[in-house]
Chains A and B, each alone.
Chain A
Amino acid sequence: MNQGPHSAAGRPAAAVAMTDYEFCSQYDLYGHMACPGCGEKILLRHILNVLGPETVIVCPAGCAAVTDGVFPHSISPVPFLHVPFDATPAAAAGVRAGLDLSGRKHVTVLAWAGDGATFDIGMGALSAIAERNENILYVCYDNEAYMNTGIQRSSATPYGGWSTTTPKGQLKAEPKKNIGAIMAAHRIPYFASGSPAFLDDLTAKVAQAKRLSGLRFLHLLSPCPPGWKADPRDGITLARLAVESRLFPLYEIIEGTHYRLTHESSGAGFDEYLQLQGRFRYMSAGDRRILQADADRFYAQLTLRHNRNGETTVIGEEP
């Protein structure tokens, strides 16, 4: 555990007015071990900027845990608790209980887990804290495979994607798990998806999540150049194309029922998104069509729900 300079455990609650980038810029966040172009580190610094120093991070095995630093060193400006792979939700609930008992209800508990620890390994415990509506902000940085251990497929890997366990000839035959629907089924107060290419949208969602209490879940796309077999410089471009091509639409679910699209995806850039990544190189034209049709269908569903909610901004036309 890193006893950060603004340790939540050691200081009374202070009203810290956060302006743009103030928080992260004043700390020595240099020297982390993430690969060039890592999306997770872009996401984390912007999230921490919104959450501020009164935060405790609970992090399972994964890229975030490894790249944070080499023991006894860490880049984290706030306490950063390393926990077993499957135990993020349980440990976060424990930290929450401890903070609450010691009168620090205002401190945000941030569960910061990859797609492996969220979609697969920690799924049971995640369902438990969702059902109990624990006061935790759970954020999944989704790089769509077990990147840290050598690019093994997870249930977040997209249909037709390559990984070392879904090699050429045996590409992933199952579609990506719909984590939004799972969280919505638990009727948690707030679910939202986000992308580092849309920072205003992302920070607004983090701020909204911070305002609410109960279990809040953010599902963020985290570009991974080595795992996606892409040029590191294209990370943000890919994060944008994923949204525009409707493979990763930006939306919110409030109280498990109220769906809201926060960005109208143009539908363009699907082919470019696949072309820029080696992990989609082996996909057949038929597989591409299936993937695109699936994305379009999901987006149409979101549109329908968005418009039925009586949102003032009507997105697209009802299918």
Chain B
Amino acid sequence: MPELAVSSGSMSWNKTGSWRSSTPLHIDKTPPCNFNCPAGENIRGYIDLLKHYQTAEAFELLTSANPLPAVCGRVCFHPCQAHCNRHGFDLAIQVRLLEKFIGDWGLEQAPTKPLPQTSGRKVAVIGAGPAGLAAAYYLRRKGVAVTMYDDHALPGGILEYGIPAYRLEKDVLQAELTRVLTGIEFHPGMKFGRDFDIGALVEYDAVFLATGAHQSKRLHIEGENIPGVESGLGFLQQLNSGEKIDVQSHNVLVIGGGNTACDVARSAYRLGAHVTLLYRRTEREMPAFAEEIEQLRAEPIHCEFLVAPERITRAENGTLTLTAIRMKLGEPDESGRARPVAIEGSQFTLIADRIFAAIGEDPDVSFFPNAQQHDDGEFDFSGVDARLAGKLFVGGDLLPNPRTVPHAVGSGRLAAEKILAQLRGEPLVAHDCVVEVAGPEDINYRYFTRINAVKWQTGLAAGGALSEQSAHAEAERCFSCGVCSKCDNCFNFCPDLAVIKSAGGYQVNLEYCKGCGICAAECPGGSLRMRQQ
């Protein structure tokens, strides 16, 4: 025996993995922001890039799903924020401001990338709204020649003619559209069915139809066609076309509770009118986005809830009299909202100079007289013309989706993918349909400190836009729900050194992992879980 007994071998023969009864697995879940984005943006992904000051990469990632970030940063209703796991903890990540920051960065600093050569494939896009723009953008970037038609003089559709300038600055829109339309042949003032027809489309390999919803719904009351009673969308279009509209000191009534109604009311107020908004349900049931309602209510616009119009008459001097009836809320209808029921004998009258009806819009598909419409609102164009068989794709407001800009963008990008797959002669690869969304139960809240929401928000919004520093600070608050943020916790806290860092993240050495579960318990965003063996 030596003077002092000395160990010389390692313990690596002792495969402690055999002690394990459950195994840690790195399985990313879908963050709720990504899951709820109608445009399909990887929101968590670009926030992560902002954390590392990689604004250029963030712009690249964002525009891979949505070519209009500066626009959407201003007009999107951001369901990502409503579903953010930080919402309820202190304050949802202000994705709206981050998206706007990235979009504005792109307008100023994004390098112009050379477009690929066109391959000889040609696609016609009818309608230059957000859906058509998105489809054209992604098709062109895959080498497809795109010809775009729109009946208006300017591209943008609802962005140009529907959304008021106080919500979306014209120079921002124009700058973004210039980038998107690079390399795309645009034909303004070409209305499908009036200025060209199916015959002109035969030469294309595919046709994307996204003509939107422009036809205002009728009120179906007596006197809705008399002068002075107009459609709200028409008013916005006139206004956005630069027409002078004199409603200074006029009494203006706006009928409706959607986004158009809010935009009409707020625009008329900005022109100096005394505005009253009438809605047949209560503020809670208004279909407009929460943000719009909040801003509407912050302005001196009078709102009459639980009121429905019954009749409009016009006096000799042009004064309009609206007879309205008070409503009460009854049982929920098929939309889940309480059905308004008229209260007998509660009629009253309102005097106005102008009345705008904004109770919704319908698509106008008169160019295809034989188009079918299903009960759910979806159009069936399959039988309209043999020359378009298998080549016609639709998007935007022609689909039975909520009528929002991000939904339109999402439908446009999806159509581009479908068209590209068809041009290659491949079936469209279906995206994973079953996704697991990371909820609050997946978050280890111990790793996050609550902030003072009001104070934080005020500080961020100073100046209306984020600086690079404040964008970074805001991105730092992201939980990275369900997706590994490479925080090293699993690596650091493993008593058995069984978590190995690898290029893509972490691997578990199952030969030695004893299955204690510390890594899963200490994973801040919940991308690690234990599975029983």
Residues in chain A within 8 A of chain B (CB atoms): 1-3, 21, 24-25, 28-42, 45-46, 69-75, 80, 196, 199, 225, 231-237, 240
Instruction: Check A73 against B496 for contact (C-beta < 8 Å).
Output: no
In the complex, per-residue mask of B15-43: 1 if CB is within 8 Å of any chain A CB, else 0: 11001100000000000000000000000
Known: A71-B5, A232-B518. 6 other contacts (CB 8 A): A1-B5, A37-B517, A41-B495, A73-B13, A73-B14, A233-B521
Task: Assess A38 versus B11: contact at CB under 8 Å? Given A232-B516, A240-B446.
Answer: no
Q: List 15 A-B contacts (CB under 8 A).
A: A3-B6, A3-B7, A30-B11, A30-B12, A32-B11, A37-B517, A69-B11, A73-B13, A73-B14, A80-B7, A233-B517, A233-B518, A235-B495, A235-B516, A236-B518
Smallest CB separation, A22 vs chain B (Å): 11
Q: Which of A42, A70, A233, A234 has the most CB of B within 10 A?
A: A233
Chain A residues lying within 8 Å of B230, measured Cβ to Cβ, are: none
Interface on B for A, CB 8 Å cutoff?
A: 4-16, 19-20, 446, 491-498, 509, 511-512, 514-518, 520-522, 530
Closest residue to A20 on the B side, CB-wise?
B488
Contact call B495/A73, Cβ cutoff below 8 A: no
Per DSSP, are chain B's interface residues mostly helix, strand or loop, or mixed?
loop
The complex places the Cα of A24 from the Cα of B492 at a distance, in Å, of 11
* 7 A-B pairs closest in CB distance: A233-B517, A31-B14, A31-B11, A37-B516, A36-B516, A232-B516, A36-B514
Question: Considering the chains assembled together, what is the distance between the CA atoms of A94 and B470 in angstroms?
Answer: 57
- Contacts of A28 on B, CB cut-off 8 Å? 10-12
Docked-complex contact A236 and B4, CB < 8 angstroms = no
Q: Which residues of A contact B15 (CB under 8 A)?
A: 31
Set of chain B residues within 8 Å of A70, measured between Cβ atoms? 11, 14
Is the CB–CB distance between B495 and A30 below 8 Å? no
| Contact in complex: B493, A42 (CB < 8 Å) | yes
Residues of the A chain whose Cβ atoms lie less than 8 Å from the Cβ of B511: 30
Q: Are A196 and B493 in contact (CB under 8 A)?
A: yes
Interfacial chain B residues near A25, Cβ < 8 Å? 497
Kindly report which residue of chain B lies nearest to residue A45, judged by CB atoms.
B497
CB distance from A62 to the nearest CB of B (A): 16
User: Would you call B522 and A74 a contact (CB within 8 A)?
Assistant: no
Contact between A2 and B6, CB atoms less than 8 A apart: yes
A46 to B491 Cα, complex, angstroms: 11
B495 touches A34 (CB 8 A): yes
Q: In the complex, are the beta carbons of A234 and B521 less than 8 A apart?
A: yes
Q: Which residue of B lies closest to A72 (CB)?
A: B7
Residues of A within 8 A of B522 (CB): 236-237
Indicate if the CB atoms of B497 and A29 lie closer than 8 Å: yes
Chain A contacts for B494, CB-based, 8 A: 42
Closest to B519 in A: A233
What's the nearest-Cβ distance from chain B to residue A220, in Å? 14
Measured in the bound complex, the distance between the Cα atoms of B8 and A69 in whole Å is 11
- Name the residue of chain A whose CB is nearest to the CB of B8: A72
A30 adjacent to B496 (CB under 8 Å): yes
Min CB distance A58 to B, Å, is 14
Chain B residues with Cβ below 8 Å from A40 are 495
Q: How far is the CB of A82 from chain B (nearest CB, A)?
A: 9
Residues of A within 8 A of B496 (CB): 30, 32, 34, 41
